[in-house]
Each structure stands twice: as C-alpha cells, then as structure tokens.
Amino acid sequence: MDTKYIFITGGVVSSLGKGIISASIGKLLQARGYKITIQKFDPYINIDPGTLNPYEHGECYVTADGMETDLDLGHYERFTGIETTRNNSVTTGRIYLSVIERERRGDYLGKTIQVVPHITDEIKRRMLREGAGEAYDFVITEVGGTIGDIESAPFMEAIRQLRYQLGRNAVCVHLTYVPYLKAAGELKTKPTQHSVKELQSMGIQPDILVLRTEQHLDDNMRMKVASFCNVDLECVVQSEDLPSIYEVPVNMQRQGLDAAILRKIGIPVGETPAMKPWHTFLDKQRNATREVHVGLVGKYDLQDAYKSIRESLNLAGIYNDVKLKIHFINSEEVTKENVADKLKGMQGVVICPGFGSRGIEGKIIAAEYTRTNDIPTFGICLGMQMMVIEFARNVLCYKDANSVEMDADTKHNVIDIMEEQKSITQMGGTMRLGAYDCELVEGSRTWEAYDEEKLIRERHRHRYEFNNEYQKEYEAAGMKCVGINPDAQLVEIVEIPEKRWYIGTQFHPEYSSTVLHPHPLFMSFVKTCSE
C-alpha cells in the first residue's frame, strides 16, 4: 500500500508525553503487522542536542549510525525495537543549514530564499523521508514544542500542506491537557478547545485528540470535547496517569486509538492483535514485589538526564522478577567521610556518564568504596573512566592519576584523548559516536553476560579512552581489559573478576535495551544485585 503519514502535535503545555504516545501508536501498528518508523522534529535551532545541557533537554540519545538525538528516540526504540538513524531526528538548525548550504552552491538558481516555500519544502522532504532509502507502511512524525510557539510555525505550515497533498494518506493526532481544578472539583476542557482552535487557525483540523489527564474523563466530557473540536467521539481518547509508561500502548489499544487511525485512513481494522509478549512483560512488572535498591552516582539531579539508564535498569529488574528502586546520589556531595552513609542500603551502584570535571572526585570515591566493599558496580563511559582512575590511584599507587580531560598535565594519564580527536576544534557531532565492534575475552564475566558471544557491537559517545600503555600494569594488578575494539585496539570494557560484579564499559549499553529485549549487561548486573 502507499505509505501513510501520522503527525503528532501537542498543545496547552509541554511534557505531556508526545514521545510515549508516538511510540505507543508505533507499537500498536507494528502489532498489526505494519512496517513503521518514527521520527522527531524539534523546533530549536541547535543542529542536534549534543551540545545541550542535560538540565535543559534531558539526556542525549545516540543512534547506531552516530547521530546525537532527542531522548524521545530512546522511547521509540525501547517500545518498538526498531533501530533509528540520523534520518529520524531533525531540528530547525539542520533544516536551515541544509537550505543555506544549497543556496551557497547555487541550487536555487538565484531565487530569494524564504520560509515558504524553501524552508517548508525542506521540512516536507524530510517528513516524507525522501532519499532515506527505505519504504514503510506508516511514518509517524512527532513535532516537538507546543502549538503557538513561534519556532514551530514552519513545521505546522509544512503539515498543513502535506495534509492537503496526501489526502486520506495522512492523519493528525493532537495531544492536549485537561487540567483538574481541585478548588472547584472540576475538570476543564477549555484549554483543549483553545489549543485545537489555535491548530485550526493554522489550517490544520486534528483527526484524533488524545487528552492527557490526571482524572478519568466520562463519556459526557469526551462528547463535549468532540462537539467543540469537530472530532468524532470515537477519536477522543484519554491518556490517564498510569503506574508505568509501558501500560500506555495497552490503554490506547483498549480505547481503540489504532483502530481509529486505520478508519480515518481508510484501512480495514480487522481483529485486535493480542500482543502476548507485551502483556507477559506487564504481568511480570505487576507481580514483582521484592525490592532491590540501586544507587545512581552522577551530577545531574534530573530524572531525564539518565533516562535510558533508568529505563534499562527497570526493564532488567522486571525480567529478574524484582522491583527496582533507583536512588540518585549527587557525586558533588560524596566525600570519603560520608560515602558509607550515602551508599548505605544500596545493593548495587551505577557510576554515571557525563562530561567535565564537576563531581568526578565523588564518583572516584564511590568507585573505591564499592570496590573495597565488593558492592556490584557498573561504570558507564565516564563512569568506567572513574573506575580506571580510582584503581590507578589506590592499587597501582599513582596518586596523581587522572584523565587529560580533567588535568592536561597529569604525569599518569591513564585516560587519554583519542589521537584523531586532538586536532578537532568544533564541539558538536565530533566525538566518537555510534556503534563499533568489540571483541570479548572468553571466560570473562562480560562474555558470560553476553551469552558467550565473541563479537558484540555497541554505541559510543566520548572523546577520551583508556591509555593502552598501562594495560599490562592493570591486568597484573587484577583489573582485566576484557573488551577490545578489533580495528583500533581500544579498550572497551574493564572488569575485576575477583569481585561479585565490577564492570566498566566505555560504550553506552543503555541505548540498546528494549522492552522485549533488555540489555544483557543490565540483566547480569541486576541479577547479581538481587542475589
């Protein structure tokens, strides 16, 4: 069939969960046998989120082909199991950069470059995935921001044009907020009405409304919204607060969201798919009662800053039949005097990734405490480097050991900048990014976790590496280098075999963990913690 297009927009306020709804729609259509992809269009002018502070934008998610993207792509991959690429993430910055580069080459033959048609045409080209090289039954496009934002106007105009050009091959799903006023004891639909009116003023009539609410909406209220917003009653769906984001697809299916989309497009609905593996997963989640406490040692006191790590831990907990309780521990506040108190009660510790010197001494102190007290420890990217530095200082007795990122003059640069990174001056998109091969040492704990696979492939985001000049010293002292990139001979994984579970990875395994296929390292880590 011809490719169908679903546009997801949001109104009233941000952070309503457009990414979760987009991923849920993708999952439901997948369950019906359709080939789908999901893409995110962000209105900000940055080329990508790679240089954004996590406090501003949450974590930066990395695709296998090395694109730094919005964290919503993590939701897309975890829900659907698809592997996104650089074509799935577009910003205003990328749009304008592409148009300006073409203008400089003379591609427009002297035309005056304007938002309409040149910017909107470029947006439409990417929304249609022209040149992306793969055919899909459905392309789901989420537009970031909120209706009425000045930055999103070109995206709305592009959607308006595409709705007209594509006819029944396109639908618009609009996500809004229905607040509950406690003092009045009432739910208010007026913000939704105004949001839809704003969308209509741009020439877009939403086909389906998803109402984000903290209180259940009865049929009378849904009927009121349908009447005021020119939407069929069956196309007014509510998204209530749920115990887990992974229950959202089931809730949407129960209300017939996927069926409504198919009817709007003119496709026979057929039988509702059972989604047995998903329900099995949810059953395990509901039935888990035994709690396991894991500490997250990092410097960003923001849930979204470590989103993929948190979700990977939770998924591994569910499959290990335990309820994971994650405790954030600010590494800036960790000292030798209070580390025991800070980590008290933790059955496992994750040393988090990051950049810069802020909070690293706390991570090093935490790594020493967990190593000497044999607490299962998982270091990721910078976290792995902190484990390496701690070992050099306290086992190899190089008291000044450090990374050249933190101390360019250190005499014992156990973490050094990659050779190809030394001449780079621009920050954005220039790190070692994307998936690279890694050969595992047979018999290692990591090799066992990966079900005895010899060659794995994982995603990276860093500039600094383990300094191979020290490899023999580390191995002789008990920290083994058990994962090596076969091409560059870079150390990807270290572990201390004599400990219960003490492993650091230079790559980011959290990017590859999905609902139906949790990452093996997180599975092994949580299993050890729960023992």
Catalogue the active-site residues. Answer: 381, 508, 510
In eight-state DSSP terms, residue 469 is G
Q: Alpha carbon 454 to chain centroid distance?
A: 27
Which token pair is 515? 């609902």
Residue 363 gets the label, from left (phi > 0), alpha (psi -120 to 50) or beta, of: alpha
The DSSP secondary structure of 258-289, one letter per residue, reads HHHHHHHHT----SPP--HHHHHHHHHHHH--
Dist CA 208 CA 142 (whole Å): 14
Dist CA 404 CA 13 (whole Å): 43
Give the start-end residues of each E strand in 201-249: 208-213, 236-240
Asked if 86 and 65 touch (Cβ cutoff 8 Å), the reply is yes
Dist CA 237 CA 255 (whole Å): 7
Dist CA 457 CA 507 (whole Å): 9
Sign of torsion over alpha carbons 457, 462, 468, 474: negative
What pairs with residue 180 in β-bridges? 187
Give CA separation, 448 vs 24, 327, 520, 523, in Å. 33, 28, 9, 11
Dist CA 35 CA 50 (whole Å): 29
Dist CA 296 CA 281 (whole Å): 24
- Helix (H) or strand (E) holding 368, with range, is helix 360-372
Structure-token match 């887990």, residue found: 244
The DSSP secondary structure of 132-157, one letter per residue, reads S----SEEEEEE-S-TT-GGGHHHHH
Cis peptide before 117 (omega within 30 of 0): yes
3-state helix, strand, coil in the chain (%, to 5): 40, 20, 35
Asked if 483 and 491 touch (Cβ cutoff 8 Å), the reply is yes
Dist CA 301 CA 143 (whole Å): 27
Sign of torsion over alpha carbons 95, 99, 101, 102: positive
Residues 6+ apart with CB under 8 A from 264: 168, 171, 207, 208, 235
